[in-house]
Amino acid sequence: MFFINNQFVLRFEFMSIFALHNTEHTIYMKIALAQLNYHIGNFDGNVEKIIAQIRMAQAKQVDIICFGELAVCGYPPRDFLEFKDFIHLAQQGIERIRMASDNIAVVVGAPTINPVPEGKDLYNSAYFIADQEILYVQHKALLPTYDIFDEYRYFEPAHQFDLVSYRGKKIALTVCEDIWNIGNENPLYTTCPLDIHMQHQPDLVINISASPFSHGHAQERIEMLKANVNRYKVPFFYVNHVGAQTEVIFDGGSLVMSADGIIHDEMPYFIEKCTIYDLDLVNQTKTDNEQTKDKTSLTHDALVLGVRDYFGKLNFTKCVLGLSGGIDSAVTTVIAAQALGPDNVRVLLMPSEFSSDHSIDDSILLAENLNIQYDIVPIDDVYNQYRSTLHPLFGDLPFNIAEENLQARIRGMLLMAVSNKFGHIVLNTSNKSEAAVGYGTLYGDMCGGLSVIGDLYKMEVYDLARYMNRNTEVIPEHIITKPPSAELRPNQKDSDSLPDYQDLDQILKQYIEQQKGPDEIIALGYDPKLVQRILRLVNINEFKRYQTAPSLRVSSKAFGMGRRMPIVGKYLS
């Protein structure tokens, strides 16, 4: 280790597994996985949390404790990585962890400076620190640039892969994506780091990850780990983040797998936890200890955690939202109450002349079921005043979408007024189906600081509502069973303007998640005119989605940072 401009830089060009010290053989090895909830840029908070777990592990005579990818700074740091001060603070964090590592090894992720002038300035690295020394740093080789990931924007890929020898064991140290190119079969990459590691015959693999939650991804991780173990025949220790960073949610689910490809343990989802494992017992595992994975329950827990962390990490406490009597606002309200507590949730019921009596009654019943504050604020007077003011401009033109959107924008204005007056954050209640086809009003029902269900299709919202009612009727049954309506004109129903949600959702999934074009979707048996209409609506409404709140991501292709489309594109428009 040497210093350049008062910053430490590590050199490993001539390091081999034989050059590392402390190779005294031990019969047993205890390895701890700490899946923790980090906060991007909160170096003091992250490092203190890490050191607290190190102290616990030291007291229990753990040999190695492992933390997640870029744990010191939080993931994804994005353009914070372009600030030298940010990198300096990360290095200070590593130094504090080094000083705390007496009689234990710590595996932890942090950015490191690339000392070579050519290439990117940084590496995404896994540190192996033991007995107050940095023994080795393994840089990440495979830098994803798909979906929410943009790592090649910031990091230089690794080209050197050595093992760490510690207390009689040879360890292959890997970072997240580096185990996702099994046998060099992933067309995104040309290097398979573990194929290189295996030339030196490691006793185990440690992988530190920041793997976000989405539908089905937990099962994909298990299948990926099993494929690695079946290929390499060594035990795997895989540690993930837990917690939410704005729209990106990390589910935990850290894994330990025996050399036979059997799941020794799968850690809890959406919960911080540190678990200690005996390496010999891992290799004796005979029965899979895999958790059940119900899509709706996992989605529920992800959204609750997403709301809680958004507020907690921004030092907000209270929210406000419009409760309309519809399914979307009902589900959003239940999530908010579970995440923040009933005392921190306030809803406004804002009926107009087109609102049905049952919508008001259903909303009141839901608010009382949740024991949250509700206020009834009729918008008739404001709406009529607006129409009167606009009459010189509108004249005797017939009622149309202008008057409908006027009601939505009045409601948005009232919510923002309460937000400004009391410091409550407005929660957006739009779902993915409506956002996809532009069935929402900018500066009206699309306003808010966070879109809670913006990555749930309409039918998934209904599934979530039924899940919330699995033990007792929290959401009044009438909200779930009545036809959905915006109630912005007489006897309005969503089906007046949109296809049946079951068909709409399936076509949207094929286009958004599966990236299938119109001909491919039509070949699945859908009506050609319907497909063309829906896809055109998705594309021409991109400008609306650019102006909306971040949506909590629970699918493999959420609107926002994971789906980057041009606003003025001509394709299918």
Provide the 3-class DSSP secondary structure of residue 81. helix
Annotated active-site residue 319? The verdict is no
Q: Which residues have CB under 8 Å from 354's CB, separation 6+? A: 407, 487, 488, 489, 490, 492
Peptide bond into 518 cis (omega under 30): no
Cα separation values, 229 from 203, 384, 472, 524, Å = 12, 68, 44, 37
Annotated active-site residue 176? The verdict is yes
Rounded distance between C-alpha atoms, residue 342 and residue 336, angstroms:
8
Rounded distance between C-alpha atoms, residue 234 and residue 237, angstroms:
10
Please check whether residue 375 is in contact with residue 364, taking contact to mean a CB–CB distance below 8 angstroms.
Answer: no
Task: State the helix-helix crossing angle for 357-370 and 327-340, rounded to 10 degrees.
Answer: 10
Rounded distance between C-alpha atoms, residue 125 and residue 134, angstroms:
12
> Active site residue: 66, 73, 176, 447, which one?
176
Rounded distance between C-alpha atoms, residue 47 and residue 43, angstroms:
6
Provide the 3-class DSSP secondary structure of residue 509. helix
Rounded distance between C-alpha atoms, residue 205 and residue 228, angstroms:
10
Rounded distance between C-alpha atoms, residue 326 and residue 69, angstroms:
41
Residue 50 phi, psi (nearest 5):
-65, -45
From its phi and psi, is residue 202 left (phi > 0), alpha (psi between -120 and 50) or beta? beta
Annotated active-site residue 140? The verdict is yes
> Active site residue: 30, 49, 140, 318, which one?
140
Rounded distance between C-alpha atoms, residue 573 and residue 566, angstroms:
12
Q: Which residues have CB under 8 Å from 85's CB, separation 6+? A: none
One DSSP character per residue, 187-220 reads TT-S--HHHHHGGG--SEEEEE---B--TTHHHH
Please check whether residue 54 is in contact with residue 259, taking contact to mean a CB–CB distance below 8 angstroms.
Answer: no
Please check whether residue 556 is in contact with residue 214, taking contact to mean a CB–CB distance below 8 angstroms.
Answer: yes
Burial of 564 (0-12, 13-18, 19+ CB in 10 A): exposed
> Active site residue: 49, 69, 434, 458, which one?
69
Rounded distance between C-alpha atoms, residue 334 and residue 332, angstroms:
6
Task: Please give the DSSP secondary-structure letter assigned to residue 119.
Answer: S
Catalytic residues: 69, 140, 176
